[in-house]
Amino acid sequence: MVDVAQARNGPLEVGGEALGRIHAKSNSRKATAYWVGFLKGVLASGKIETTEYAPLKVEAQNFLALLHDPDASELIDDLRIWESDPKEVFQIVEDIVTFRSRDFIVENDADEINELYGFCAGIACDNRITPREVETLLARIDAHPRVKEDRRVLNLKNAAVRSIADGQITDEESDDICTWITHLVGDSATDTGLSTFGNVGVIEGALEDHADVVFNQRMFVLTGKFHLGPRKAVQSMIAERGGQFKGTVCRDTHYLCVATEASRDWKHSHEGLKIIRAMELRDQGRGPHLVHEGTLAQALAR
């Protein structure tokens, strides 16, 4: 999946309808993997708490909009109808997962990662982690070795292993696991009132001091949906300060600027190929600096 593709008549607009049609199938699959993973995460404790109703509704509303999913629509209604009966809600969610899992089979690394992200968001949606959820999380991570290539996943696994060593999960250990999940999928819907799908997680090693961003004769690459404005406008702001641009990340890239909101066409729900490539280069000791949108905005305001 790419942010800029070439068509016969020139580059396709980032986030535009034409590019959306090209990526429609993969975007639908990405969202479905996340949605199924989220519901599995909610079920992982073996019961549903009333504190999980609100994040369930938020995620269902989001996937209703994304996928026009009738199950999501019915779940929203059922959460209202069965408000006082968590056992019934659990059965409804379990039925949705059973039905959707018949149609959606994990086929590749992207499916594994997107479903894992959804699962993590599901177990953390009430900001409380149980021993049963930790055990299920560890089993899922171990079943897909490739996901552990992400240091954030490895850190999450290590925190989970430490916490479950005595068979108990303290409040402090639960908070620690939730923090590592935030690194993957951002804050939970309980914290923000917003769906976790499409959040940008914490990018380790990103510049924190805006004074470290130098514009003149430096090569910039942008990714994601910027709140600062359309990508062309952000490029113009950087160009006014002497910066240059490329569409892809390479060894000559000085800065990869990551928007607050994920791009619709990213490969994974929380990062795209540019971020993945930048992290690979950084692991080799030659990658670009990573800059969150907030830090970039401060640098542009100097």
Same domain for 165 and 217: no
Q: What is the pLDDT along the chain (302 residues), one digit of tens a residue?
A: 334 344 434 455 655 666 657 668 889 999 999 999 999 999 999 999 999 999 999 999 999 998 888 999 999 999 999 999 999 999 999 999 999 999 898 888 899 999 999 999 999 999 999 999 999 999 999 988 888 878 889 999 999 999 999 999 999 999 999 999 999 998 888 888 889 998 888 887 899 999 999 999 999 999 999 999 999 999 999 999 999 999 999 999 999 999 988 988 898 998 899 999 998 898 888 889 999 999 999 999 98
Quick one: 148 and 42 in the same domain?
yes
Residues 121 and 175 in one domain: yes
d(CA 208, CA 264): 26
Same domain, 182 and 60: yes
Same domain, 259 and 122: no
Task: Indicate whether 52 belongs to any domain.
Answer: yes
> First-to-last CA distance in the chain?
34
Residues 6+ apart with CB under 8 A from 104: 29, 32, 33, 36
Boundary-marking domain end, from 192, 226, 258 = 192
> Which of 165, 192, 219 marks a domain boundary?
192
Answer whether residue 287 is part of any domain.
yes
Residues 34, 177, single domain; the answer is yes
Beta strand residue intervals within 64-183, DSSP E: none
185 and 40, same structural domain? yes
How many Å apart are CA 277 and CA 273, to the nearest integer? 6
Please tell me the predicted confidence (pLDDT) of residue 177.
Answer: 97
Task: Give me the residues paired with residue 221 across strands.
Answer: 256
Residue 159 lies in a domain: yes
Report which residue type is found at 243. G
Query: Which secondary-structure segment (H or E) carries 258?
Result: strand 255-258
Q: Does residue 8 belong to any structural domain of this protein?
A: no
User: Is position 231 within any domain?
Assistant: yes
Backbone φ, ψ for residue 236 (5° rounding): -65, -40
Asked if residues 225 and 259 have their Cβ atoms less than 8 Å apart, the reply is: yes
Q: Are 56 and 183 members of one domain?
A: yes
The answer to whether 156 touches 183, Cβ cutoff 8 Å, is: yes
Per the structure, how many domains does the chain have? 2
Whether residues 57 and 123 share a domain: the answer is yes
What is the rounded distance in angstroms from the CA atom of residue 209 to the CA atom of residue 72? 42
Whether residues 95 and 173 share a domain: the answer is yes
Residue 198's pLDDT is 85
User: Domain span at residue 271?
Assistant: 210-300
Q: Minimal CA–CA distance to 268: which of 66, 37, 31, 100?
A: 31
9 domain residue, yes or no: no
Instruction: Tell whether 156 and 234 lie within a shared domain.
Output: no
Say yes or no: 94 and 159 in one domain: yes
Question: What 3-state DSSP class applies to 289?
Answer: strand
Assess if residue 153 is contained within a domain. yes
C-alpha torsion sign, points 277, 279, 281, 287: positive
Question: Largest Cα–Cα distance in the chain?
Answer: 62
In a domain, 115, yes or no: yes
Q: Which two tokens stand for residue 74?
A: 């019915």
Distance (Å, whole) CA 228 – CA 182 = 23
Specify the CATH number for the domain of residue 291. 3.40.50.10190
Q: Is 296 exposed, middle or buried (0-12, 13-18, 19+ CB in 10 A)?
A: buried
